[in-house]
Chain A
Amino acid sequence: MGFCLMEGNEAMAWGAVDSGCRFFAGYPITPATTIFNALLRLLPPLGGICLQGEDEIASIGYCLGASMGGLKVMTATSGPGISLYSEHISFAIGSEIPIVIVDVQRLGPSTGSATRGADGDIQFLRWGNSGGLPVIVLAPVDVKDCYSLTVEAFNLAEEFRCPVFIASNKEIAMTRENIDMDAFGPQKIIHRASPPPGRPFIPFEVPSDSRTPYFLPIGGRTLVRQTSSTHGPDGYITTDSDEIAGIQDRLKNKLLLAVETFSFYESFPEEDADTLILAYGITGRAGRDAYNAFKKAGKPVSLLILKTLWPVPEGLIREKAGPVNRVVVVEMNLGQYVREIERILPDKKIDFLGRMDGKLITPRQIEEVVFDV
């Protein structure tokens, strides 16, 4: 077994290629640019396409076009670009266009600090669309996750025909780390489902056993309609409120009712622990160190690192927090995901540790909060 040295962004590019991604478009922005750089080297020799858009709106627009053309697509940016993506994120949600969107978070607000990390977009990713329908957000902890969660993200985008975000962070994306690329082996790859032959194709009709419509590409032999307007199964505008309500419910439930099938996490339960540390992203690593320090010192503290942030894996969180009285939520912002934890664990004591100054939360800080009861 050996390792190579790779930053998170490059690992994402390999994850994308191995998932069958053949179209990337992006606009340069630190700290996401090296995803574009890597895919510009990787995709064209594979017959894939890598474009630099005139702006972020165009970049994601190219992706939506190519995705409807049948390609697996990805774009990558940081907070300022996510802001510009917003109208197209809403489009991809409402019109069920598969796309993987990487947000390599940097310190905000606004232009903020291009080369400093943060996890400041966690609620923004969830709510930064018109209509407020759910999205999937995955959060890598290290370079290994950057590869494997990218594969998961593509699979989820294909399975549910929806945008899937990867909430990375400058501190993972541009930090180089050892990674054993051979250890991953062949990946299980999911493709958007084609309709069974022999029936007329109805673009947004849902099979009886699923909440996700079949897909056919624009450009194939069967005519396909796509629209950003509120539409019925036939892809034409509808004003029928019952039909509209049904579609909105379906768009919500196709993700909310399925989250248990894609609740990624690392769990380190300790018997007799009174406190659970809950963290995600780069902060999960400081959480691991704190957990190990407690274990060494013979003080039982449990740890849960979430890798699926949205939809909130409520069942998982309730289960892991079941045995403890207190949950310490640690995140690289001024308190975002902690709101969800307070919401779903009303009977527990919830404490928060956050930081938004471009510096990592240290294991020592976590240890202090956990013990400073």
Chain B
Amino acid sequence: MSSLLNTGRPPVFCPGCSHERITHALDKAFSNLGFQGQDVVIVTDIGCSGLFDTFFNTHAFHGLHGRALTYATGLKMAHPELNVIVTMGDGGLGIGGAHILSACRRNLDLTLLVLNNFNFGMTGGQFSATTPLNAQVGSGFLNRMERPMDICQVASSAGAPYVNRFSSYAKNLVEEIESAIRFEGFSILDIWGICPGRFTKRNRLTPQIIEDALAKMPSIKTPVSDNLRKEYGRHYRELAADQKAVLRPTTIEKQFNPPEAGRKEVIILGSAGQRIITAGEILCLAGLAAGLKTTQKNEYNITVLRGHSITEVILSPEDIGYTGIARPDVVLALSQEGVDRRRHIFDDLDHRSLIVLGKEIDLPPCKAEVHRIDFKALKIKPHDRALASLGILAKLSRVIGLNMLASALRYRFRGAVLASAQDMVEGVEID
């Protein structure tokens, strides 16, 4: 097999840079694997490792610092057959830490080469996530307080199934890279090397020193047996194949006439757990069954099981512009905290407005018609009170009729839930 090196753009690394060795080893690995240029995309990070894509006649994607794995993920998901090789430095490892961990956990079939030369070569030899504590770097004394991380230990504990660490000068460099590419799953290679432009200007580092230092590192057994599992893309496609197709939403045709003419505005004031938003939705659906336009605007706490829950519904024969409600035609006041949240609305109500009020709730003084309900005596639990109140509205022929409501329930619910909802709205008694 021939080389995939781009002869028109030979490597431009500093003399003595170990990146050059890796460039040639990667090419040899491609050749041994029988890859053509179109079988491979090289995704590169920022820094000297970010030059790799230009040296090869393959697909190429060069992006922002630390983010190479994110593009690689999108590419691999889009083209499962493509061999995705990512090159990044120890700088990209640090800034892209979240992406490294995520790639380890996910186990998508990417091959990550971390070209670890213990500093930021391109910007002046600043310290990285792997710089030794005693190194002289471009960041003054700052590295002396930050412990270098062991990429392999981090990757293993994050779930990477293929983890390895070796020197750029290793005799079997080609075979190590080739083996990582062959592995189906996420593989991460911590490849130690020399940055003559920056690091070795002030620090002594030779292939032998690297070899000795590697020998002192905790041993690694790859693949990491505890982390062996299904490759993400394969697994994703399996699970996705089991997902049921979603039907387009069915429309509701006009079947009834509303009991009252004109635009009607309803506010339901309640608490989390009272199914306020669902009741609002049913009110909207009931409106659709009468050919009305409708909007539903909700307000609730982000802690969804506590606090107020409020829904504002407008039903109108005309198109609805502004979706707020200033003076509602109907207020369903079902909890004290709901009422307290909107106390100001009661000031403007007159006798044309109707309030359906839970018996125990204190109402600010207002001129509206109040329909007080003893839900407790009727044995209607808090989570059914909003739905029961819709039944009351329908029985009073305010805003919606029973036929509209029944149709909405049939659209929204099925089976036992439908039966109990129907019982609730039909059974609720009004004085």
Query: Do A2 and B252 form a contact, CB below 8 Å, given A54-B102, A218-B61?
Result: yes
Tell me, rounded to whole Å, the shortest Cβ–Cβ distance linking A13 to chain B. Answer: 10
Which of A171, A174, A218 has the largest number of chain B CB atoms within 10 A? A218
Q: Cβ of A66 < 8 Å from any Cβ of B?
A: yes
Expressed in whole angstroms, the Cα–Cα distance for A45 and B61 within the complex equals: 29
Partner of A25, one of B43, B54, B74, B297: B74
B60 and A225 contacting across the interface, CB-CB below 8 Å: yes
Expressed in whole angstroms, the Cα–Cα distance for A226 and B240 within the complex equals: 29
Which of A5, A23, A73 has the largest number of chain B CB atoms within 10 A? A5
Expressed in whole angstroms, the Cα–Cα distance for A63 and B293 within the complex equals: 37
Dominant SS among interface residues on chain A: mixed
Q: Cβ of A299 < 8 Å from any Cβ of B?
A: no
Nearest A residue (CB) for B299: A115
B300 and A115 contacting across the interface, CB-CB below 8 Å: yes
Chain B neighbourhood of A87, CB < 8 A: 64, 67
Partner of B74, one of A65, A178, A289, A363: A65
Chain B neighbourhood of A223, CB < 8 A: 37-38, 57-60
B53 and A115 contacting across the interface, CB-CB below 8 Å: no
A83-126 toward B: CB 8 Å interface, digit per residue (1/0)?
00001100100000000000000000000001100000000000
Q: Cβ of B225 < 8 Å from any Cβ of A?
A: no
For window 155-185 of chain B, which residues contact chain A by CB distance below 8 Å? none
Expressed in whole angstroms, the Cα–Cα distance for A70 and B246 within the complex equals: 24
Expressed in whole angstroms, the Cα–Cα distance for A364 and B327 within the complex equals: 13
Q: Cβ of B321 < 8 Å from any Cβ of A?
A: yes
Query: Do A65 and B323 form a contact, CB below 8 Å, given A3-B252, A181-B248, A223-B57?
Result: no
Chain B neighbourhood of A186, CB < 8 A: none
Chain B neighbourhood of A115, CB < 8 A: 299-300, 302
Partner of B326, one of A174, A218, A362: A362
Query: Do A226 and B62 form a contact, CB below 8 Å, given A54-B102, A219-B75, A362-B324?
Result: yes
Chain B neighbourhood of A53, CB < 8 A: 70, 102
Tell me, rounded to whole Å, the shortest Cβ–Cβ distance linking A269 to chain B. Answer: 18
A45 and B322 contacting across the interface, CB-CB below 8 Å: no
Chain B neighbourhood of A30, CB < 8 A: 302
For window 77-110 of chain B, which residues contact chain A by CB distance below 8 Å? 77-79, 81-82, 98-99, 101-102
Which of B60, B285, B293, B294 has the largest number of chain A CB atoms within 10 A? B60
Chain B neighbourhood of A285, CB < 8 A: 320-323
A4 and B252 contacting across the interface, CB-CB below 8 Å: yes
Expressed in whole angstroms, the Cα–Cα distance for A88 and B70 within the complex equals: 11
Chain A neighbourhood of B102, CB < 8 A: 53-54, 58
B71 and A65 contacting across the interface, CB-CB below 8 Å: yes
B73 and A62 contacting across the interface, CB-CB below 8 Å: yes
A64 and B288 contacting across the interface, CB-CB below 8 Å: no
Expressed in whole angstroms, the Cα–Cα distance for A364 and B249 within the complex equals: 35
Q: Cβ of A44 < 8 Å from any Cβ of B?
A: yes
Expressed in whole angstroms, the Cα–Cα distance for A42 and B296 within the complex equals: 24
Q: Cβ of B207 < 8 Å from any Cβ of A?
A: no
B74 and A63 contacting across the interface, CB-CB below 8 Å: yes
Expressed in whole angstroms, the Cα–Cα distance for A53 and B74 within the complex equals: 11
Expressed in whole angstroms, the Cα–Cα distance for A223 and B58 within the complex equals: 6
Partner of A4, one of B53, B239, B251, B322: B251
Q: Cβ of B298 < 8 Å from any Cβ of A?
A: yes
Q: Cβ of A20 < 8 Å from any Cβ of B?
A: no
Chain A neighbourhood of B293, CB < 8 A: 3, 178
A219 and B322 contacting across the interface, CB-CB below 8 Å: no
Q: Cβ of B141 < 8 Å from any Cβ of A?
A: no
B70 and A68 contacting across the interface, CB-CB below 8 Å: no
Q: Cβ of A194 < 8 Å from any Cβ of B?
A: no
Nearest B residue (CB) for A22: B78
Q: How many residues of A contact B (CB 8 A)?
A: 78
Expressed in whole angstroms, the Cα–Cα distance for A237 and B53 within the complex equals: 12
Expressed in whole angstroms, the Cα–Cα distance for A174 and B280 within the complex equals: 13
A45 and B243 contacting across the interface, CB-CB below 8 Å: yes
Expressed in whole angstroms, the Cα–Cα distance for A229 and B44 within the complex equals: 12
B99 and A54 contacting across the interface, CB-CB below 8 Å: yes
A23 and B321 contacting across the interface, CB-CB below 8 Å: no
Query: Do A88 and B67 form a contact, CB below 8 Å, given A23-B78, A174-B298?
Result: yes
For window 18-64 of chain B, which residues contact chain A by CB distance below 8 Å? 37-38, 41, 43, 53-54, 57-64
Q: Cβ of B284 < 8 Å from any Cβ of A?
A: yes
Tell me, rounded to whole Å, the shortest Cβ–Cβ distance linking B21 to chain A. Answer: 23
B61 and A65 contacting across the interface, CB-CB below 8 Å: yes
A54 and B101 contacting across the interface, CB-CB below 8 Å: yes
Q: Cβ of A345 < 8 Å from any Cβ of B?
A: no
Nearest B residue (CB) for A183: B251
Chain A neighbourhood of B300, CB < 8 A: 115
For window 253-309 of chain B, which residues contact chain A by CB distance below 8 Å? 253-254, 281, 284-285, 287-288, 292-300, 302
Expressed in whole angstroms, the Cα–Cα distance for A341 and B150 within the complex equals: 56
For window 290-332 of chain A, which residues contact chain B by CB distance below 8 Å? 292
Query: Do A171 and B297 form a contact, CB below 8 Å, given A62-B74, A224-B60?
Result: yes
Chain B neighbourhood of A2, CB < 8 A: 251-254, 288
Expressed in whole angstroms, the Cα–Cα distance for A53 and B244 within the complex equals: 23
Chain B neighbourhood of A228, CB < 8 A: 62-64
B254 and A219 contacting across the interface, CB-CB below 8 Å: no
B74 and A69 contacting across the interface, CB-CB below 8 Å: yes
Tell me, rounded to whole Å, the shortest Cβ–Cβ distance linking B242 to chain A. Answer: 9
B281 and A5 contacting across the interface, CB-CB below 8 Å: yes
Chain B neighbourhood of A67, CB < 8 A: 74
Q: Cβ of A232 < 8 Å from any Cβ of B?
A: no
Tell me, rounded to whole Å, the shortest Cβ–Cβ distance linking A57 to chain B. Answer: 6
A171 and B71 contacting across the interface, CB-CB below 8 Å: no
Query: Do A62 and B70 form a contact, CB below 8 Å, given A227-B62, A228-B64?
Result: yes
B71 and A360 contacting across the interface, CB-CB below 8 Å: no
Which of A14, A60, A174, A226 has the largest number of chain B CB atoms within 10 A? A226
Q: Cβ of B405 < 8 Å from any Cβ of A?
A: no
Expressed in whole angstroms, the Cα–Cα distance for A88 and B254 within the complex equals: 47
A45 and B246 contacting across the interface, CB-CB below 8 Å: yes
Expressed in whole angstroms, the Cα–Cα distance for A44 and B294 within the complex equals: 31
Expressed in whole angstroms, the Cα–Cα distance for A5 and B98 within the complex equals: 39
B288 and A5 contacting across the interface, CB-CB below 8 Å: yes
Q: Cβ of B208 < 8 Å from any Cβ of A?
A: no
A5 and B294 contacting across the interface, CB-CB below 8 Å: yes
Q: Cβ of A49 < 8 Å from any Cβ of B?
A: yes
Tell me, rounded to whole Å, the shortest Cβ–Cβ distance linking A37 to chain B. Answer: 12
Known: A41-B243, A178-B294. 16 other contacts (CB 8 A): A2-B254, A5-B285, A49-B78, A55-B98, A61-B63, A64-B71, A73-B74, A175-B296, A175-B323, A177-B320, A217-B78, A218-B79, A219-B79, A225-B59, A227-B61, A227-B62
Q: Give the top 3 A-B pairs by smallest Cβ distance, nearest first.
A: A65-B74, A61-B70, A69-B78
Instruction: Give the A-binding residues of B (Cβ under 8 A).
Output: 9, 37-38, 41, 43, 53-54, 57-64, 67, 70-79, 81-82, 98-99, 101-102, 236, 239-240, 243-246, 248-254, 281, 284-285, 287-288, 292-300, 302, 319-324, 326
Ordered by A's residue number, 12 sampled pairs between the chains whose C-beta atoms are within 8 Å are: A23-B78, A25-B74, A58-B67, A60-B70, A61-B71, A70-B78, A115-B299, A171-B297, A175-B296, A217-B78, A227-B63, A235-B60
